[in-house]
Chains A and B, each alone.
Chain A
Amino acid sequence: MELKLNLSSSPHIRSKDKTSTIMRDVVIALTPATLFGIYIFGMNALMVVAVSIITAVLTEAGIQKLRNKKITITDWSAVVTGLLLAMNMPGGSPWWLAVIGAVFAIAIAKHAFGGLGHNFINPALAARAFIMSGWMGRMTGYTTPKIHEISQATPLNVIKGAFSLDTSALSQFKDVYDAALANVQSTASLGDMFFGNIGGVIGETSALLLILGGLYLLLRGVISYRIPTFYIGTVAILSFFLYGFNLELVAYLLLGGGLMLGAFFMATDYSSSPINPKGQIIFAIGCGILTVVIRRFGGYPEGVSYSILLMNVAAPLIEKYSSPKVFGGGK
């Protein structure tokens, strides 16, 4: 009998995981925080999310069509980029800003460098930095959450503000850290911070939902514990030392800004972080140090996105010098 047989080299079986299931898991993990962002910032936030995702997907398809490449929008990776970009934009952003950001993310940060798996920086963060440099006011004009009336300034802005208070304003406090804590406490409670009833960009406010999403990715094996743990851990330890050993202030610093979003979803971007375990730890610690240094000493109240971008650029170098030692050592 003639048999029609497949011949190939081993192994002959494959795991069920696919690129598309991984990317879809990321979207699932981000959904609660996004929905919450839409809930507190309103319909305009929904518009920003939709425009950003649709533009990202269309840009990817368009570029691949122009270059006569296989169109891979079904792998969900452009959806992830579009969604992450939207989560990094204020809820009141105009639609065209989302379009510009998404086109930049996909066309320049991703495809100009070779497409999926080849981008050397996180496309969403690169796009955020790009539109930030062009439309600073719109990118930092945070919409006030509608749940209850609070100041428009983000908690991290408030903490930063304390360091530029004059001596007379500071005189009623023990020290500048005490002042920062008192001011931020009047802005938002730790509970507000945790649940997300604070100012900020669409996707960063609810630490709780971001952590849940991150845990989902950990459980699904999409990300490893290494980058989030070492990133957040470094920020916690360093903040403790640089913010007057004030534990409560540290809690605000951990829950505030984009740390949870960055640590679980942005710094863990596959292609812009090192591939080996040791490299990932070095990368995460570097992100943590830069974040705290920018927050404490830099010109911005928040340093998560720039710290990740800077470490993205350093990732190939880290990767080169953190190659694992082979089994059995030798040479």
Chain B
Amino acid sequence: MGLLSFRGGIHPPHAKKSTEKKPVEHLVEPKVVVIPLHQHIGAPCEPVVNVGDHVKVGQKIGNATSFVSAPVHSSVSGVVKEIGPKLTLGGKTTCVVIESDGLNTISEEVKPKGDISTLDGKEILEIIKEAGIVGMGGAGFPTHVKLSPPPNKPIDYVILNGAECEPYLTADHRLMLENPESIIYGLKALMKVLGVTKGYVGIENNKMDAIEKMTKAAEKEAGIEVVALKTKYPQGAEKQLIYACTKRQVPSGGLPLEAGVVVSNVATASAVSEAIQTGMPLVQRICTVTGSGVKEPKNVMIKTGTMLSEIVEQCGGLTDDISKLIWGGPMMGISMSTLNIPATKTASGILCLNEADATIPEKSDCIKCGKCVDICPAFIQPMLLDAYALRSNYDQAEKLRVLDCIECGSCSFVCPAKRPLLHSIRVAKREVLARKKRV
């Protein structure tokens, strides 16, 4: 069978060698965790504990106040020291600071919920919601919201994203190798919630070992197919992944459910399985700490609320020529000004780049080579959008469909004139959206 893929895309260096063969390591128990009450897209949680309270692992410390939100649980057992605004990735937000007692006493709330064969869809959905599970691929969209499509939108497929197309990151890869059964179990749970009989797991073919393991784990499941995807960035972008697996295009401006598909990350599926089988909510995840700016690149299991500085310290620390710190991968990750922020449910990677790797060459004039147009997976024309954005001609940018940009960054990557195309596009997008709101 030919490899599934989409049209467009780029081939950045994989840079996964330094961590792809390294099993996930557990870190030294953090003494203090700073758990943000807003680790997802949607409304922040309200704290349900008070300073001085003793909490246990898996105990709920923040309650969702609206539908698009996800509760937050403690990742350690210990005493609540402080509840207040702390610096996180997205700025200051309310965090619960817990001093660990080192015992890791597990909360009484945490107990096996049964099996998917006996639970019905509604019950599974409730378990997922209560476990605070959010999309672990990066955006952190609450999973139960995704699993509640309007009744007039039938869902035909669930696709698990195991592409891990971001260079450097190997967290999903390791998960697929070390715990493939949990991913398949989680997928079955998602399929049951949605009443779907067909599920895909899409994996790029630079991870043949993961494809093998996952295929083996899924061999008894009639409705589940593990598919090899061409290694190409952004193969794991939601719309591109849906196209690769089903040849369906999500309508412009629409959600995947409009193409009858729900996409979830493999790590999310594994978290669902954990929530059902052991009852443990989402309080830890695998994170790849890598790049030329860290001494011992590793895949580590991190508890939410662990300070990034502590995590990096246990990977040998930063090199002297450290120049850039990135939350996530090099294509879509967010550059950080400090490591003194806590890890959350969406921390898939901490990428540390030294000066040579972090230096972005100076931009020069566009030579109109059209490479950005050639490779754009959304089929828009980045070089024209760049030009219009720089002239503040946002009407024209909107006409040229700037809002269809998925911000994968392929255009900036490929540009021989080193123009920050995506940066311009982001400015134009923000402006176009702001205008729409004003009207």
**Chain A residues engaging chain B, CB cutoff 8 angstroms:** 3-15, 17-19, 21-22, 72, 75, 77, 115-118, 224, 270-271, 274-277, 280, 323-331
Cα A130 to Cα B65 with chains together (Å): 73
> Chain B 251-283 against A: per-residue CB contact (8 Å), 1 yes, 0 no?
111100000000000000000000000000000
Report whether A326 and B324 are in contact in the complex, using a CB–CB cutoff of 8 Å. no
Report whether B422 and A328 are in contact in the complex, using a CB–CB cutoff of 8 Å. no
Report whether B373 and A327 are in contact in the complex, using a CB–CB cutoff of 8 Å. no
Cα A14 to Cα B381 with chains together (Å): 19
Contacts of A8 in B (CB 8 A): 324, 335, 360, 420, 423
Given contacts A13-B167, A21-B416, A328-B239, contact A116 B379 (CB under 8 A): no
Report whether B414 and A328 are in contact in the complex, using a CB–CB cutoff of 8 Å. no
Contacts of B252 in A (CB 8 A): 326-331
Contacts of B412 in A (CB 8 A): 11, 14
Contacts of A276 in B (CB 8 A): 370, 373, 381
Report whether A329 and B383 are in contact in the complex, using a CB–CB cutoff of 8 Å. no
| Interface flag for B142 (CB, 8 Å) | no
Given contacts A11-B409, A271-B367, A326-B252, contact A5 B323 (CB under 8 A): yes
| Interface flag for B250 (CB, 8 Å) | yes
Q: Which of A7, A12, A275, A325 contacts B373 (CB 8 A)?
A: A275
**Chain B residues engaging chain A, CB cutoff 8 angstroms:** 10, 12-13, 167, 239, 243, 249-254, 318, 322-326, 330-338, 351, 353, 357-361, 364-371, 373-374, 377-381, 383-384, 400-401, 404, 407, 409-410, 412-418, 420, 422-423, 426
Closest 5 A-B residue pairs measured CB to CB? Answer: A330-B252, A11-B409, A275-B370, A328-B252, A271-B368
Report whether B330 and A11 are in contact in the complex, using a CB–CB cutoff of 8 Å. yes
Contacts of A324 in B (CB 8 A): 373, 379-381
Kindly report which residue of chain B lies nearest to residue A315, judged by CB atoms: B368
Report whether B413 and A14 are in contact in the complex, using a CB–CB cutoff of 8 Å. yes
Cα A21 to Cα B364 with chains together (Å): 13
Q: Which of B253, B410, B423 contacts A9 (CB 8 A)?
A: B423
Report whether A3 and B331 are in contact in the complex, using a CB–CB cutoff of 8 Å. no
Q: Which of A10, A22, A72, A330 contacts B251 (CB 8 A)?
A: A330
Contacts of A5 in B (CB 8 A): 322-325, 335-337
Report whether A13 and B364 are in contact in the complex, using a CB–CB cutoff of 8 Å. no
Given contacts A6-B335, A21-B416, A22-B367, contact A12 B379 (CB under 8 A): no
Contacts of B250 in A (CB 8 A): 327-328
Taking the nearest CB of chain A, how far is it from the CB of B236, in angstroms?
A: 15
Among B367, B400, B417, which residue has the most Cβ atoms of chain A within 10 A?
A: B367
Apart from the given pairs A18-B361, A118-B365, A275-B368, 11 other A-B contacts in the complex at a CB distance below 8 Å: A5-B325, A10-B331, A11-B413, A15-B414, A117-B367, A117-B417, A275-B383, A327-B243, A327-B404, A328-B253, A328-B404
Contacts of A17 in B (CB 8 A): 371, 414, 416
Q: Which of A12, A116, A118, A270 contacts B370 (CB 8 A)?
A: A270
Contacts of B414 in A (CB 8 A): 15, 17
Taking the nearest CB of chain B, how far is it from the CB of A76, in angstroms?
A: 11
Subset of 10 A-B contacts with CB under 8 Å: A3-B318, A10-B330, A10-B409, A12-B324, A14-B413, A18-B418, A19-B417, A327-B252, A329-B249, A330-B254
Q: Which of B337, B374, B378, B409 contacts A7 (CB 8 A)?
A: B337
Cα A326 to Cα B253 with chains together (Å): 11
Cα A17 to Cα B366 with chains together (Å): 13
Given contacts A7-B335, A13-B330, contact A22 B379 (CB under 8 A): no
Cα A275 to Cα B366 with chains together (Å): 12
Cα A10 to Cα B349 with chains together (Å): 15
Kindly report which residue of chain B lies nearest to residue A77, judged by CB atoms: B367
Kindly report which residue of chain A lies nearest to residue B259, judged by CB atoms: A328
Report whether B422 and A11 are in contact in the complex, using a CB–CB cutoff of 8 Å. yes
Cα A277 to Cα B375 with chains together (Å): 11
Kindly report which residue of chain A lies nearest to residue B403, judged by CB atoms: A326
Given contacts A8-B360, A12-B333, A14-B412, contact A329 B251 (CB under 8 A): yes
Taking the nearest CB of chain B, how far is it from the CB of A270, in angstroms?
A: 5
Cα A276 to Cα B400 with chains together (Å): 13
Kindly report which residue of chain A lies nearest to residue B367, judged by CB atoms: A117
Contacts of B335 in A (CB 8 A): 5-10, 12
Taking the nearest CB of chain B, how far is it from the CB of A320, in angstroms?
A: 10
Taking the nearest CB of chain A, how far is it from the CB of B329, in angstroms?
A: 9
Among B318, B324, B357, B369, which residue has the most Cβ atoms of chain A within 10 A?
A: B369
Report whether B416 and A22 are in contact in the complex, using a CB–CB cutoff of 8 Å. yes
Cα A11 to Cα B423 with chains together (Å): 9
Report whether A6 and B378 are in contact in the complex, using a CB–CB cutoff of 8 Å. no
Report whether A326 and B418 are in contact in the complex, using a CB–CB cutoff of 8 Å. no
Kindly report which residue of chain A lies nearest to residue B323, judged by CB atoms: A6
Given contacts A15-B10, A327-B239, contact A6 B367 (CB under 8 A): no
Report whether B361 and A270 are in contact in the complex, using a CB–CB cutoff of 8 Å. no
Cα A158 to Cα B335 with chains together (Å): 66
Cα A115 to Cα B365 with chains together (Å): 9
Cα A75 to Cα B167 with chains together (Å): 29
